[in-house]
Structure 1
Amino acid sequence: MYTKLEQFLTEWKQEAQITEAVMRALTDDSLLQPIREDRRSLGTLAWHLVSSIGYMASLGLSMDDLPDQKERPASAVEIAEAYSRSARSLERAVQEQWSDETLGQSQQVMGEEWQNGASLRFTIMHQAHHRGQMTVLMRQAGLVVPEVYGPNYESWIEKGMVPLD
């Protein structure tokens, strides 16, 4: 849980940059890569990350740049752009509308009482969870995955090193 706005804002900016890199690596064709036949696709997961940022509005934040449509766009570029706008919108809203004191206030979230600082932490962890799923599907779709928390397979090779198995 965050107790200081600056803690969240610092981590959100870093995590959003990583997610933006993952989103920018998507292609229109890769959006169709399924987890399995009866589950979400890579495009559905990507759009879920975009649209889920809006749930923070239910906690009293007013955000100005959230996507209007419920259906995911067919374009990977549109999804990536929508993510960037939504991520910046959340950042601005938290910075302008909440304070360190606000982070300790409680709200009903999914039938439970959560402090706002815990909701922000959940938002980051939710993003990391689905971003991890996306990187696996990206590999299955034949894409190069950007560096997330360290070098990817291709980066090791570019550096003249033997990739880890």
Structure 2
Amino acid sequence: MYHHIQDFLADWKLAAENTAKIFANITEETKAEKIAPNIRTLERLAWHITQTITEMGSRAGIFDHDALEDQPIPATFSEIAATHARYNALLADAVYSRWTDASLTDRVQMYTEEWTKGVVLSVLVSHEAHHRSQMTIIMRMLGLMVPGLYGPSAEEWAAYGMPAMA
């Protein structure tokens, strides 16, 4: 749970950068590849991450309405990435302008529960990290380069001329 808006904004900025790194390595050829019947595609996961920003944001009162509700997956992956970047920035701006450190203990109705606003922000960050992690596994299975997010990836270790940690 966040107690300070600035702490959330720092983490949200890092989340946006990490998501952009993942999105940058997904190709038009691989975006819709199904690796298994019950596993989402990379484009479906990317769109879910993006739509959750406005869906949770509107439920929590960060946004006045859910601008991406019922919107279909964009035609190109670059459109998904651009939409994600736009709404990520809009969410940060809205949290900064609408909420205060003191309001982070206020309760809002989220799904079937009551969460504090600080918990809403924590869940937004964690939700995105969770699905980025799923995407890296799918990317590996599709032979895509996986960027390091919290340290070097196997490919980055190799580029350094060092073995990846086992």
% identical aligned pairs: 35
Q: How far did residue 39 of structure 1 move?
A: 3.5
Q: How far did residue 62 of structure 1 move?
A: 2.5
Paired residues for 1:3-152 under 5 Å: 3-54=3-54, 55-62=56-63, 66-67=67-68, 70-152=71-153
What amino acid is the match of 1:100? Answer: D
1:71 and 1:111 map into 2 onto residues whose CA distance is 26
1:63 and 1:45 map into 2 onto residues whose CA distance is 24
2:9 and 2:58 map into 1 onto residues whose CA distance is 17
Cα 1:2–1:33 shift into 2, 3 Å: same
TM-score (norm 2): 0.92
3-state SS of the aligned residue for 1:60? coil
Range that drifts further, 129-138 or 63-72: 63-72
2:111 and 2:66 map into 1 onto residues whose CA distance is 24
1:90 and 1:33 map into 2 onto residues whose CA distance is 30
Partners of 1:3 and 1:103 within 8 A in 2: yes
Paired residues, number = 165
Partner of 2:159: 158
Partners of 2:58 and 2:66 within 8 A in 1: no
Q: How far did residue 163 of structure 1 move?
A: 1.6
1:105 and 1:35 map into 2 onto residues whose CA distance is 42
Range that drifts further, 107-116 or 34-43: 34-43
Q: CA RMSD in A?
A: 1.8
Cα 1:25–1:3 shift into 2, 3 Å: same
Q: Which runs of 5+ in 2 are unaligned?
A: none
Range that drifts further, 117-126 or 37-46: 37-46
What amino acid is the match of 2:111? Answer: M
TM-score (norm 1): 0.93
Q: Which runs of 5+ in 1 are unaligned?
A: none
Residue-by-residue CA offset, 1:10-57 (whole Å, 9 max, x unaligned): 111111110111112111121112252133211100100010001211
What amino acid is the match of 2:138? Answer: L
Cα 1:82–1:69 shift into 2, 3 Å: farther
Cα 1:132–1:74 shift into 2, 3 Å: same
